[in-house]
Chain A
């Protein structure tokens, strides 16, 4: 008797999982601080499209990856989401995302040639487009103009040789002064240097690591030397505590970081000091490669399982309008991915944003494999051992390749056992 009740109750309870089919409710997930900003942009959208009601769910950054994967596994993905471009290959490997090229071809708003090429290309996996860039991120140099001047340098460095010279002049470990802060538990800095090299980071179509290439070793050597020459302290970002105030006090003359720090420095440093700092493109191994850096950021994607793809695309088009992107920048400091968005508003005349604009033209994407985050994390763990003097450059490069090849083992096997297109997991 009870079992009958149970059997009857289960589907009933299960059915609560799926909201009633209502063509007007569009579910959108955001990751981190973008959620608040999108809420202020939405009223205009909903006024223009009264038939679409947008429901935003904000995922904390640290829980987002887990939520996205379990949602996919459980068949409860939203209609669309914001997705960091290093996570995109994973979602594509799961066949979770809707290809977007056809929609772009018919769009009057989203014009591919207006976007920074490398940012756009991070959304292409094996020739298919899966996302539209929403905002971009590249790491470059924040520097203390006054300290450089006092040491006799009128301009920021163009190449590594100049950079090294300035680092040497500005470092004084005895008096607690360092050329630069490179937290040993962040991989972005070494990765940016490595992306400046001609050698790709993975080889054979992402089957093996390519960290023993001459190029990567050059980048690693330059990175590690900065610590060995006492031009950067060997500490993590936790031990570094508050990098903004230390930069302000002149503990560091350079700081290698991303766009959101323009806002942080403006907020945290006193008004009198605002003229003392600026930004510069990342110095290159030689003059021709100045300003090459990593192409990061987030895209907007539509899930294959969505039943409101047209409405989702309408929202993507709205968020891609240059005027809306400028408002988005004003709200958060997230930099727009299209050139025309940079041609107006606060961005156009902001001298501190100029270096980013320049570097975005030359940014390079990270390898588009689902394992990339794990690979970058391992790379940094080994690099930290090289900084500590436990490994030579050659040993470290070999160790990274060794670990990366192990991480990629499954990928090789999958690539070598091609299968007819898998049934969509639904």
Chain B
């Protein structure tokens, strides 16, 4: 009895904070998305009306929502594989017995992760400056015409993807590295005795053994990349021609620029539903593949 009370006392502060400042707002967001909370309601709350699913319906008919979703999916679909590929590559290199000064390399490769997005975005904006940036200078050295990286609607998103990969790959690299170190050495030794090449060892030992880590990292990275906001906010302001306006950017503009909180909440919930669906899909697919592949390792 006394222990019960003690337990709840220990829990209360955290639960109170999470309940009042997270759970309650989430529920409120659902309610808000069913109303037309806007400028007029901000002026006088009696101007608030219940509109059921109209916000959602209107959003699904809005080209801007679809294009924002398209840009976000583009960012996720290209950015996540690139990012995870870079992480895995770096982890394999670091895990190689031939690599030297491992602690130094590990720290250096990880450093971008702890930096502030806004600050590094400012740097990248300048590295990719059309006139004086290093990127175009290097391309010029290779005889390639300068590219208007952040000013051209076709190049702005790829530039942001490159930035995100640079900024984030170190995080997953550490997780992959731990995963690689957990693979028993004797598996490789047995393979080597059988005369398996490095590629075959990777394909038949490393890859399957890393499978569960890969899935978890993939899910976390996908949901992180769906929340694209600060990068376009600082680097392109959502432009040019709204080519880098992400779903969250749309939510921010809709909510805090135009003060349509009802429809902005609907944007937030649609994003949540999409992220949830993608996660479930990834879990399903991985289970399906395991069945098809038969026994792992």
Chain A contact residues, CB within 8 Å of chain B: 2-3, 6, 62, 65-66, 69-70, 72-73, 90, 93-95, 185, 236, 238, 370, 374, 410-411, 413-414, 417, 419, 422, 425
Of all A-B residue pairs in the complex, the 9 with the closest CB atoms, nearest first, are A422-B44, A66-B257, A238-B240, A94-B43, A66-B256, A69-B259, A414-B40, A65-B257, A62-B237
> Are B43 and A410 neighbours in the complex by a CB distance under 8 Å?
no
Instruction: Chain A residues near B44: list those with CB within 8 A.
Output: 419, 422
Closest residue to B252 on the A side, CB-wise? A66
In the bound assembly, the distance between CA atoms of A73 and B256 in angstroms comes to 10
In the assembled complex, the CB of A265 is this many whole angstroms from the nearest CB of chain B, namely 21
Q: Is the interface of A mostly helix, strand, loop or mixed?
A: helix
Closest residue to B255 on the A side, CB-wise? A66
Instruction: Chain B residues near A6: list those with CB within 8 A.
Output: 13
> Are B39 and A93 neighbours in the complex by a CB distance under 8 Å?
yes
> Are B40 and A93 neighbours in the complex by a CB distance under 8 Å?
yes
Q: Could you tell me which residues of chain B, from 39 to 56, have a CB within 8 Å of some CB in chain A? A: 39-40, 42-44, 46-47, 49
> Are B49 and A94 neighbours in the complex by a CB distance under 8 Å?
no
> Are A236 and B256 neighbours in the complex by a CB distance under 8 Å?
no
In the assembled complex, the CB of A396 is this many whole angstroms from the nearest CB of chain B, namely 16
- B290 touches A (CB below 8 Å): no
Other-chain residue from B36, B43, B47, B237 in contact with A95 (beta carbon distance below 8 A): B43
| Residues A238 and B256 in contact in the complex (CB < 8 Å), given A2-B13, A410-B36, A425-B42 | no
- B38 touches A (CB below 8 Å): yes
Instruction: Chain B residues near A238: list those with CB within 8 A.
Output: 151, 153, 239-241
Q: Could you tell me which residues of chain B, from 220 to 260, have a CB within 8 Å of some CB in chain A? A: 237, 239-241, 253, 256-259
> Are B39 and A90 neighbours in the complex by a CB distance under 8 Å?
yes
In the bound assembly, the distance between CA atoms of A410 and B49 in angstroms comes to 10
In the bound assembly, the distance between CA atoms of A337 and B55 in angstroms comes to 42
Closest residue to B44 on the A side, CB-wise? A422
Q: Interface readout for B169-203 with A: 1 if CB under 8 Å, 0 if not?
A: 00000000000000000000000000000000000
Q: Interface readout for B250-273 with A: 1 if CB under 8 Å, 0 if not?
A: 000100111100000000000000
Other-chain residue from B12, B43, B46, B241 in contact with A236 (beta carbon distance below 8 A): B241
In the assembled complex, the CB of B84 is this many whole angstroms from the nearest CB of chain A, namely 33
In the bound assembly, the distance between CA atoms of A237 and B237 in angstroms comes to 16
> Are A414 and B47 neighbours in the complex by a CB distance under 8 Å?
yes
Instruction: Chain B residues near A417: list those with CB within 8 A.
Output: 47
Instruction: Chain B residues near A370: list those with CB within 8 A.
Output: 39
| Residues A410 and B241 in contact in the complex (CB < 8 Å), given A69-B259, A422-B43 | no
In the assembled complex, the CB of B216 is this many whole angstroms from the nearest CB of chain A, namely 34
In the assembled complex, the CB of B204 is this many whole angstroms from the nearest CB of chain A, namely 50
In the bound assembly, the distance between CA atoms of A185 and B240 in angstroms comes to 11
Closest residue to B63 on the A side, CB-wise? A381
> Are A69 and B40 neighbours in the complex by a CB distance under 8 Å?
no
Closest residue to A69 on the B side, CB-wise? B259
In the assembled complex, the CB of B54 is this many whole angstroms from the nearest CB of chain A, namely 10
Closest residue to A238 on the B side, CB-wise? B240
**19 A/B residue pairs, CB under 8 Å, sorted by A:** A2-B13, A6-B13, A62-B237, A65-B257, A66-B257, A69-B259, A72-B42, A73-B42, A93-B43, A238-B153, A238-B240, A238-B241, A370-B39, A374-B258, A410-B47, A411-B40, A414-B40, A414-B47, A419-B44
Instruction: Chain B residues near A410: list those with CB within 8 A.
Output: 36, 38, 40, 47
Instruction: Chain B residues near A66: list those with CB within 8 A.
Output: 253, 256-257
Instruction: Chain A residues near B49: list those with CB within 8 A.
Output: 413
Closest residue to B261 on the A side, CB-wise? A73
Instruction: Chain A residues near B42: list those with CB within 8 A.
Output: 69, 72-73, 94, 425
In the bound assembly, the distance between CA atoms of A120 and B44 in angstroms comes to 28
Given contacts A93-B39, A374-B258, A410-B40, 9 further A-B contacts (CB under 8 A): A2-B13, A3-B12, A69-B39, A69-B256, A69-B259, A73-B42, A94-B42, A238-B151, A422-B43
Other-chain residue from B36, B39, B237, B240 in contact with A94 (beta carbon distance below 8 A): B39
Other-chain residue from B16, B36, B43 in contact with A425 (beta carbon distance below 8 A): B43
Instruction: Chain A residues near B153: list those with CB within 8 A.
Output: 238
Closest residue to B49 on the A side, CB-wise? A413
